[in-house]
Structure 1
């Protein structure tokens, strides 16, 4: 395989690597069942770090093109199943942000409303714990990205719908850069803005705890719009 150094260093770098490997799978450079080069070899080939390669391989796994075998590496899938995927997503593109926000609203706002209808006391406790973990991270000067995602994951699980969970997992994997950048941008600003985010989370938590699906839906939508505005990329009609 010829060396193909990737010059740009942006949020879509892993996508560039996965797209290059995808082309080589499609054109037969890697046949069904073939073992892909090691992470180190791919990192050297594309001039990127091994975590970037790992993220690219995970993307190919989600698309059903690659399977991994513990201790052996990554192989071209024999089924070659084509799953739903984003053809592209640029966290620096205002239109992409607006479009993905609309998709997130359709999924997460609906899941949050269902969570308000179906949650148990145990669910409420778990969501509260995730909320408190975010606050602890903020108090310690951290971005709270992982805690944020765990908070929303607990809400989706409370919706008691495995398809919401699967779609949420897909969105987490494919728009993580958006979520991370929103949280990191907020963390760099004054604590008042950080607490504004927590205020949005609190409204979601309170609506779910009170069993109010309409309030939960509105709170989730307001939170997503707020996150996009904090990125300064969301252009409202």
Structure 2
């Protein structure tokens, strides 16, 4: 099986991690500024910020407001999900189970705590994915943006930090072509995903925490069920 192309965020995380582990960036060192990373790696400010959030979530760096990011350790000694493991269907299933547990509670909190601006952001992310589906454009990044908006609406920075790590590596179809496990076309599959997104949005908009939790579980649980069925069918 060919290795999937890494996202720009994953590539940047890997580059910085290698420099930390090699000693180029030592414990206590300040990482290059956003501007320097943008120029060196040719990525956007959003990619740099997501990469720093991932490194922070894995315990490798800490940020100081108004100053920058600093190296905490020589390498990730705590929780981390191997990119190589995620090439195996069974490992994607295990990781997706973790994402369901975290994101279902995030959706419930978002329903209770979201501000009008945060609801607008969630709705806009949902609409952007709808438009991309109908135009036949790539949707994986928009899918991530939708779920990230929900994590942000929890008002708990730890949910957002975890999602910036987990969500980037655990969108199922970025690892395994889940739509091929279904009857119908890719567009049909994505339309069903979008319909599930709309159910989540409706519950969050209504302030229905139980409904939001259930809708999120149904949404990600569908991917989990398809992957589990594929794993059982393999010789």
TM superposition score category, shorter chain reference: 0.5 to 0.7
Q: Residues of 2 paired with 1:215 and 1:194: CA distance? A: 22
SS at match of 2:82: coil
The count of residues paired between Structure 1 and Structure 2 equals 196
SS at match of 1:91: helix
The match for 1:112 is: 107
User: 5 Å matches for 1:216-231?
Assistant: 216-231=212-227
The 8 Å contact of residues 93 and 228 in structure 2, kept in 1 or not, is answered as no
Evaluate the alpha carbon distance shift between residue 175 and residue 191 of structure 1 in structure 2; reply closer, same or farther with a 3 A threshold: closer
Q: Residues of 1 paired with 2:224 and 2:168: CA distance? A: 18
Please tell me whether residue 148 in structure 1 is matched to residue 137 in structure 2.
no
The match for 1:10 is: 3
Q: Residues of 1 paired with 2:72 and 2:155: CA distance? A: 33
Which ranges of structure 1 fall in alignment gaps of 5 or more residues? 1-7, 35-49, 68-76
Q: TM-score, normalised by structure 1?
A: 0.64
Q: TM-score, normalised by structure 2?
A: 0.65
The 8 Å contact of residues 107 and 154 in structure 2, kept in 1 or not, is answered as yes
Q: Residues of 2 paired with 1:32 and 1:137: CA distance? A: 43
The match for 2:91 is: 96
The 8 Å contact of residues 182 and 227 in structure 1, kept in 2 or not, is answered as no
The 8 Å contact of residues 178 and 226 in structure 2, kept in 1 or not, is answered as no
- Residues 97-143 of structure 1: per-residue CA shift (max 9 Å, x gap): 22112100111000001001111222222111111100110011013
The match for 2:78 is: 84
Runs of 4+ in structure 1 deviating by more than 6 angstroms, as ranges, are 12-15, 28-31
**RMSD of Structure 2 on Structure 1 (CA):** 4.1
The match for 1:161 is: 156
Q: Residues of 1 paired with 2:23 and 2:120: CA distance? A: 51
Larger radius of gyration: 1
Evaluate the alpha carbon distance shift between residue 182 and residue 127 of structure 1 in structure 2; reply closer, same or farther with a 3 A threshold: farther
Evaluate the alpha carbon distance shift between residue 212 and residue 11 of structure 1 in structure 2; reply closer, same or farther with a 3 A threshold: same
The match for 1:215 is: 211
Deviates more, 1:106-115 or 1:122-131: 122-131
Which ranges of structure 2 fall in alignment gaps of 5 or more residues? 30-41, 63-70
Give 1:224 shift. Answer: 0.7
Q: Residues of 2 paired with 1:119 and 1:25: CA distance? A: 37
The match for 1:180 is: 174
Q: Residues of 2 paired with 1:224 and 1:117: CA distance? A: 21
Please tell me whether residue 124 in structure 1 is matched to residue 116 in structure 2.
no
SS at match of 1:110: helix
Q: Residues of 2 paired with 1:183 and 1:209: CA distance? A: 31
